């Protein structure tokens, strides 16, 4: 697209996952988990580069085999359990600034969202360009709806988590509610550096369907996505 912004995709994939050891390279739907995100990024028409940030040689090898760049190895201080995505993103931006310049946008794509597609990436990029946005984040409908959340008192009594005046309203009439799905975080470097947040004031939400919003955080979720992807492939 003429006049399209320069967008670099950054896929963060450290090697020290404890919940699911070697998570990023384990087979899901017949290929390494990280491969699904790399392939979606490479199939996008909106990205100029697809970079993987990792501290692990095995992940680096798998990423390169599937077409991603691994131009640097992530320093140890950004590869601990306590290290967040912000530090990883800022480190990548520093590297890019020192090797040719920062892009217009950095797109963080977590490999734990393998159902995200190139169409989702292109849609978020288009929204950012059309609205001249500092940030666009992937969201999906909240399921279950927040109004259905409950809390327990100290003696085990059930109570509503949110106070509403529409306790008996049919679910079809609940107000729309959305949550971040973790699938994509598109940010201007200046905004990311200045606010130190992926969700700065004025950030836009890019709505994705629930069926493409699964974020893998447990062995059970990994197994579920594996079965889903195998059924689609077959």
Rounded to the nearest integer, the mean pLDDT of the chain is: 92
- Summarised one tens digit per residue, pLDDT across range 203-226 is 999 999 999 999 999 999 999 999
Q: What would the pLDDT profile of 71-129 be if each residue is shown by its tens digit? A: 999 988 887 776 789 999 999 999 999 999 999 999 999 999 999 999 999 999 999 99
- Classify the phi-psi angles of 92: left when phi > 0, otherwise alpha if psi is within -120 to 50, otherwise beta: alpha
Is residue 17 scored above 90 in pLDDT? Answer: no
Q: Note whether 63 and 27 are within 8 A (CB).
A: no
Across 82-117, b (16+ Cβ under 10 Å) vs e yields ebebbbbbbbbbebbeeeeebbebbbbbbbbbbbbb
The more confidently predicted of residues 234 and 175 is 175
**pLDDT tier at 233 (50, 70, 90 boundaries)?**
low
Q: Residue 2 pLDDT more than 80?
A: no
Instruction: Report CA torsion sign: 144, 128, 97, 39.
Output: positive
**How do residues 42-65 score in pLDDT, each as one tens digit?**
999 999 999 999 999 999 999 999
Those residues with Cβ within 8 angstroms of residue 191's Cβ, 6 or more apart along the chain or in another chain = 134, 135, 200
Fold held by 7-140+178-233: Spore Coat Polysaccharide Biosynthesis Protein SpsA; Chain A (3.90.550)
- In the chain, where are the structural domains located? 7-140+178-233, 143-176
Q: Assess contact for 135 and 186: CB atoms under 8 A.
A: yes
Token pair 């090898």: residue: 61
């Amino acid at each position: 697209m003429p006049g399209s912004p320069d967008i670099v995709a950054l896929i963060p994939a450290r090697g020290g996952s404890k919940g699911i050891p070697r998570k990023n390279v384990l087979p899901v739907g017949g290929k390494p988990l990280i491969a699904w995100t790399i392939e979606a990024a490479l199939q996008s028409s909106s990205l100029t580069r697809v970079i993987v940030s990792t501290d692990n040689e095995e992940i680096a090898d798998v990423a390169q085999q599937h077409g991603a760049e691994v131009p640097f190895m992530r320093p140890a201080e950004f590869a601990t359990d306590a290290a967040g995505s912000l530090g990883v993103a800022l480190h990548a931006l520093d590297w890019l600034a020192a090797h040719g310049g920062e892009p217009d946008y950095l797109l963080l794509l977590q490999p734990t969202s393998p159902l995200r597609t190139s169409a989702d990436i292109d849609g978020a990029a288009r929204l950012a360009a059309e609205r001249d946005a500092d940030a666009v984040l992937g969201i999906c409908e909240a399921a279950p709806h927040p109004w259905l959340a409950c809390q327990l008192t100290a003696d085990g009594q059930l109570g509503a988590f949110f106070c509403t005046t529409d306790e008996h309203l049919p679910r079809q009439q609940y107000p729309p509610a959305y949550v971040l799905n973790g699938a994509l975080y598109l940010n201007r470097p200046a905004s990311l550096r200045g606010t130190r947040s992926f969700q700065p004031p004025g950030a836009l939400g890019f709505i994705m369907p629930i069926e493409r919003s699964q974020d893998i955080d447990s062995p059970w979720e990994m197994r579920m996505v594996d079965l889903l992807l195998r059924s689609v492939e077959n």
